[in-house]
A and B are shown apart, each in its own frame.
Chain A
Amino acid sequence: MSAKPSLEKRPEPGPGPGSGPGPDGPPLLELRDLHVGYGAIEALKGVDLEVRRGEVVALLGANGAGKSTTLKTVSGMLAPRSGEVLLHGERIDGITSHQLVRFGLGHVPEGRRVFGRMTVLENLHMGAYRLRRPDPADLERVFALFPRLHERRRQVAGTLSGGEQQMLAIGRALMGKPELLLLDEPSMGLAPLIVQQIFGILREINEQGTTLLLVEQNATQALQLADRGYVLETGELVMSGPAGELLSDPRIRAAYLGEHVEAEAEAEAEAGRG
């Protein structure tokens, strides 16, 4: 076994990381009155959202609320019908996803999507594709964050467990030195213990200076990690605020954390009978 990469000497990711939430200047990412649709269906009906440098922002909502649509629009996989996406105050909507990588946008797609037939190491090298030559310091950083990936670096990615694949997807995105990391449901289909582990690592990644925008159904986990949160419902923002407040908001607790559900069900049953 080779020496484990040290946790201490870690490179600074991205061009201007670690400066913390700057009170002045434009936010790192800003969405202005964003409308996105598929055919006749309007998935986003005017979404305004901002992510400041160094923050963790969670985007919550039920199935079909438009969370993934929002993230896909930011990452360039979808083009908006109207509205603006601004990165560093500059419009980026309409730029395709492979070009956005160059502007410091890292994307962990929904369902992980690792290159199943490449090894872990090949996947990570692929993540640094835009850099022409992978930065060994980045590799060290990823292996320090995910020692599990170091153990399995010669293994074919398709044979990893779901949690390991999620780690690999995050690690692969980090290899491109992103300033803003977009994560689409990193907890999907994973055991609670693994989810906790991954969210712990996400916090570490954020503390190292990478800004995170996170789409989640697992509201408790997401809000425990996030600084701020937005709640989407059928394509519209219905709530936003500091994560702590959202976490204690009774409406959130009712809608996403399953409290009072029994009481409501009983009430509905009563109504049905009456």
Chain B
Amino acid sequence: MKATTVSRGKGGGPDMSAAARLRATRWYQQPRWRRLAALLGTALLGAQVTGREGSSSDIFLALKENTTGTGMWIWLGGALLVWVLREFVSEQLAAGWAGVREGARAGASGPLGRGRELWRSLPWVRVAALTALAVFLVLLPLLVTRHWQQVLVDQIGIYVLLVIGLNVVVGWAGMLDLGFIAFFAIGAYSAAYWTGSLPVEPPVVLNNFLVIPVAVVTCLVAGVLLGAPTLRLRGDYLAIVTLGFHEMVYLAARNWRDTTGGTSGASVDRFEIDLGFWSYRWGLDPVPYYWLLLVVIALLIFLFLRLEHSRVGRAWTAIREDEVAAAATGVDTVRFKLLAFAIGASTSGVAGVIYASKLGFINSELFVLLFSILVLSYVIFGGMGSIPGVLLGAAILIWLPEAMRDQVPAQDRFMYLGALLVVMMIYRPQGLLPSRRRRRELEMAEEGAGGADSLGTSEGRRV
């Protein structure tokens, strides 16, 4: 060994050169058995971390329990399977997949291609599929248990509303917003204030439905007040500003007890329609809220899809790509960024009103920073800029921890979520159902022709 260190760098010779040593550390340069050993080692570690006793304070008990449990055999089996697939079958698999894709591109041949062809050529297939989906969504809460009804409304429904709002800001206009929940909080506290539920009395008490436009206006104003001086900032800097804004709103809600109720909170009235001859009151049953949310979400998706393909949508795309060039072609960059910010903020406000009215109670702890981060991760997971993508992303990432509730220890659920996000960002950074343009951006980044950062706002790196 000593000889190696002495004679290296003399240019060639029997010892390993620097280049050879660097190459020897690469994964694909290892012998097969070493790759298998590495995978099995990872599996053992995974089994320890995820095992029943993984979080036990008694490390010896944990080691014993976790290595004898079934979890370890699943992990080891999985590692072995990955090894076999990657070492021996991967080429065939890649060839097969390429064939399927080729078939899809060529048109008729192959199952994928045939499905796509059918979808394109027959409008009634599309209409029928969408109708079936709509019927399914309407009937969905009647098919599930009470627990899942609550999850559908309190979490999936509310977060879907939030992600389609944040998608406008992040996915279309390309601004990183870490304080999105601040506007959600403003919406929720608007609901509490105008229904007369806070310690301070409003000038007039409004019906919850009437609060929605009021909250929209409030959030628009808040969004413009925050945005106007700060939207000249780019990417990372704007993210910090929104983070600060979120903390300001959260701390105001928490510490301004005389007005907001702070951590002990305030109870909020529920939705009510009174038309004189007919009245309806939303109560504890989550299903009517689900239908209410479904209507609001459908309406917003319709509006936003129109917006995406309008001049406004094109202006956002141009701004995301290159602000200077966008201005040179006549796009008012500040105005359109402000517009995106305000649209996002008011959507968040609507979600806040519905959330507060559904829960019947709010306190400051419902609006901590974690939720802002979660909404952002749903958007990125699903595929920024694509409405079907972000809907799917939110639904899956909320469903998963709930579905794991009985399978894994409660405190471990978010660990699995984190692992899923890590794996996803490594293998599919464009998200589940990326928009056409986002996919293009990532393909180009791989070819070295564009910025790899997902937001594409840092012009310094592009020049």
Enumerate chain A interface residues (CB-CB to B < 8 A): 75, 77, 96-99, 101-102, 107-109, 111, 113-118, 125-127, 129-130, 132, 156, 158-159, 172-173, 176
| B437 interface contact, C-beta 8 A | yes
Cβ of B325 and Cβ of A130 under 8 Å apart? Answer: no
Q: Apart from A118-B321, A176-B330, what 14 extra A-B contacts exist at CB < 8 Å?
A: A97-B328, A101-B328, A101-B329, A115-B321, A117-B441, A126-B314, A129-B311, A129-B329, A130-B330, A132-B311, A158-B444, A159-B447, A173-B328, A173-B329
Cβ of A107 and Cβ of B441 under 8 Å apart? Answer: no
Within the complex, what minimum Cβ distance (angstroms) separates A13 from chain B? 16
- Measured CB to CB, the nearest residue on chain B to A116 is B450
Cβ of B325 and Cβ of A114 under 8 Å apart? Answer: yes
In the complex, what residues of B have CB within 8 A of residue A115's CB?
A: 317-318, 321-322, 325
Q: Which of B311, B328, B332 contacts A109 (CB 8 A)?
A: B328
In the complex, what residues of A have CB within 8 A of residue B450's CB?
A: 116-117, 158
A127 and B324 in contact, given A156-B440, A158-B444, A159-B449 (Cβ under 8 angstroms):
no
| B331 interface contact, C-beta 8 A | yes
In the complex, what residues of B have CB within 8 A of residue A116's CB?
A: 321-322, 444, 449-450, 462
Cβ of B437 and Cβ of A98 under 8 Å apart? Answer: no
Q: Which of B315, B318, B327, B441 contacts A97 (CB 8 A)?
A: B327
B442-459 near A? 1/0 per residue, CB < 8 Å? 001001011000001000
B contacts with A, residue count (CB < 8 A): 27
Alpha-carbon separation in the docked complex, A111 to B328 (Å): 13
B294-327 near A? 1/0 per residue, CB < 8 Å? 0000000000000000010011011001101111
Alpha-carbon separation in the docked complex, A108 to B324 (Å): 11
Within the complex, what minimum Cβ distance (angstroms) separates B173 from chain A? 15
Alpha-carbon separation in the docked complex, A172 to B324 (Å): 14
In the complex, what residues of B have CB within 8 A of residue A77's CB?
A: 324, 327
Cβ of B330 and Cβ of A109 under 8 Å apart? Answer: no
Cβ of A129 and Cβ of B314 under 8 Å apart? Answer: yes
Cβ of A130 and Cβ of B329 under 8 Å apart? Answer: yes
Q: Which of A101, A130, A156 contacts B444 (CB 8 A)?
A: A156
- Measured CB to CB, the nearest residue on chain B to A102 is B330
Alpha-carbon separation in the docked complex, A156 to B449 (Å): 10
Shortest beta-carbon contacts, A-B, top 4: A101-B330, A130-B330, A113-B325, A115-B321
- Measured CB to CB, the nearest residue on chain B to A97 is B327
| B463 interface contact, C-beta 8 A | yes
Alpha-carbon separation in the docked complex, A201 to B317 (Å): 29
Within the complex, what minimum Cβ distance (angstroms) separates B303 from chain A? 21
